[in-house]
A and B are shown apart, each in its own frame.
Chain A
Amino acid sequence: MSARATAVPIDVARLIVTTLNLEVAPEAIDPDESLFGEGLGLDSIDALELALAISREYGLELRSDDARNRQVFASLRSLTDYIDETRTR
Chain B
Amino acid sequence: MPATRPAFVPASVGVPLLARPHGAVLFRRPEGEVTADRFLAAAHGLAAALPDAPLLNLCADRYHLALGLAAAALAGRVSLFTGERSSAWLDALAARFPGLTALTDHAATGPAGLPCFDLTAIPPAAGDFPAPCLPADRLAAIVFTSGSTGEPEGHRKSWGALAARSRDAGRRFGLTEAAVVGTVPGQHMYGLETTILLPFHAGAASWCGPAFYPVDIAAALAACPSPRVLVTTPLQLRALLTAGIALPPISRVISATAPLEVALATAAEHAWNTEIWEIFGATEVGSIASRHTVAGPEWRTYPRVRLTAAPDQAARVSAPHSAPFPLNDRVALDGPTRFHLLGRGNDLVKLGGRRASLAGLTRILTGIEGVEDGVFIAPEDLEVRPTARMLAFAVAPALRAEDILAQLRARIDPIFLPRRVVCLDRLPRDPLGKLPARALEALRAQALGLDAAAPPALPPPALPPPTLPPQTLPPRTLADRPA
State whether these chains interact: yes
A49 to chain B, nearest CB (A): 5
Q: In whole angstroms, how far apart are the Cα atoms of A21 and B219 in the complex?
A: 30
Q: In whole angstroms, how far apart are the Cα atoms of A63 and B239 in the complex?
A: 13
Is B335 among interface residues, defined by CB-CB distance under 8 A? Answer: no
**A61: chain B residues within 8 A (beta carbon):** 213-215, 243
Considering residues B209, B216, B405, which has the most beta carbons from chain A within 10 angstroms of its beta carbon? B216
Q: In whole angstroms, how far apart are the Cα atoms of A17 and B369 in the complex?
A: 31
Q: In whole angstroms, how far apart are the Cα atoms of A38 and B242 in the complex?
A: 29
Per-residue CB proximity of B308-339 to A under 8 Å, as 1/0? 00000000000000000000000000000000
CB within 8 Å for A23 and B419 given contacts A41-B409, A41-B414, A49-B387: yes
Q: How large is the interface on B (under 10, 10 to 19, 20 to 34, 35 or more residues)?
A: 20 to 34
Q: In whole angstroms, how far apart are the Cα atoms of A14 and B217 in the complex?
A: 28
Q: Is A45 a contact of B216 with CB atoms below 8 Å?
A: no
Per-residue CB proximity of A59-75 to B under 8 Å, as 1/0? 00111110000000000
Q: Is B387 a contact of A48 with CB atoms below 8 Å?
A: no
**A52: chain B residues within 8 A (beta carbon):** 214, 239, 242-243
Q: In whole angstroms, how far apart are the Cα atoms of A20 and B214 in the complex?
A: 18
**A44: chain B residues within 8 A (beta carbon):** 212, 352, 415
Q: Which of A20, A23, A46, A64 contacts B213 (CB 8 A)?
A: A64
Is A51 among interface residues, defined by CB-CB distance under 8 A? Answer: yes
Q: How large is the interface on A (under 10, 10 to 19, 20 to 34, 35 or more residues)?
A: 20 to 34
Closest B-chain residue to A49, C-beta based?
Answer: B386
CB within 8 Å for A62 and B352 given contacts A37-B414, A43-B414, A49-B387: no
Per-residue CB proximity of A1-29 to B under 8 Å, as 1/0? 00000000000000000011111000000
CB within 8 Å for A51 and B417 given contacts A20-B387, A38-B409: no
Q: Which of A19, A45, A55, A62 contacts B415 (CB 8 A)?
A: A45
**A43: chain B residues within 8 A (beta carbon):** 352, 414-415, 417
**B406: chain A residues within 8 A (beta carbon):** 38
**A64: chain B residues within 8 A (beta carbon):** 210-213, 216
Q: Which of B209, B212, B351, B415 contacts A48 (CB 8 A)?
A: B212
CB within 8 Å for A63 and B213 given contacts A41-B414, A44-B352, A52-B239: yes
Is B340 among interface residues, defined by CB-CB distance under 8 A? Answer: no
CB within 8 Å for A65 and B414 given contacts A23-B419, A43-B352, A55-B243: no
B51 to chain A, nearest CB (A): 29
B375 to chain A, nearest CB (A): 19
Is B420 among interface residues, defined by CB-CB distance under 8 A? Answer: yes
Q: Is B352 a contact of A51 with CB atoms below 8 Å?
A: no
Q: In whole angstroms, how far apart are the Cα atoms of A23 and B420 in the complex?
A: 8
**A23: chain B residues within 8 A (beta carbon):** 419-420
A34 to chain B, nearest CB (A): 12
Q: Is B414 a contact of A21 with CB atoms below 8 Å?
A: no
**B120: chain A residues within 8 A (beta carbon):** none
Closest A-chain residue to B387, C-beta based?
Answer: A21
**A63: chain B residues within 8 A (beta carbon):** 210, 213, 215-216, 219
Q: Is B243 a contact of A65 with CB atoms below 8 Å?
A: no
Closest B-chain residue to A42, C-beta based?
Answer: B414
Closest A-chain residue to B30, C-beta based?
Answer: A65
B352 to chain A, nearest CB (A): 5
Q: In whole angstroms, how far apart are the Cα atoms of A43 and B414 in the complex?
A: 7
Is B235 among interface residues, defined by CB-CB distance under 8 A? Answer: yes
CB within 8 Å for A48 and B239 given contacts A63-B213, A64-B210: yes
Per-residue CB proximity of B206-228 to A under 8 Å, as 1/0? 00011111111001000000000
A35 to chain B, nearest CB (A): 12
**B214: chain A residues within 8 A (beta carbon):** 51-52, 55, 61
A67 to chain B, nearest CB (A): 11
**A37: chain B residues within 8 A (beta carbon):** 409, 414
Q: In whole angstroms, how far apart are the Cα atoms of A64 and B409 in the complex?
A: 25
Q: In whole angstroms, how far apart are the Cα atoms of A55 and B405 in the complex?
A: 31
**A65: chain B residues within 8 A (beta carbon):** 30, 209-210, 216, 219
Additional pairs, 9, CB under 8 Å, beyond known A43-B415, A45-B351, A51-B214: A43-B414, A43-B417, A44-B415, A48-B213, A48-B235, A49-B239, A51-B239, A61-B243, A65-B209
Could you pull out 7 A-B pairs where Cβ atoms are within 8 angstroms? A20-B387, A44-B352, A48-B212, A48-B235, A51-B214, A61-B214, A64-B212
Query: Which 6 A-B residue pairings sit nearest by Cβ, starting from the closest?
Result: A64-B210, A21-B387, A61-B215, A65-B210, A64-B212, A63-B215
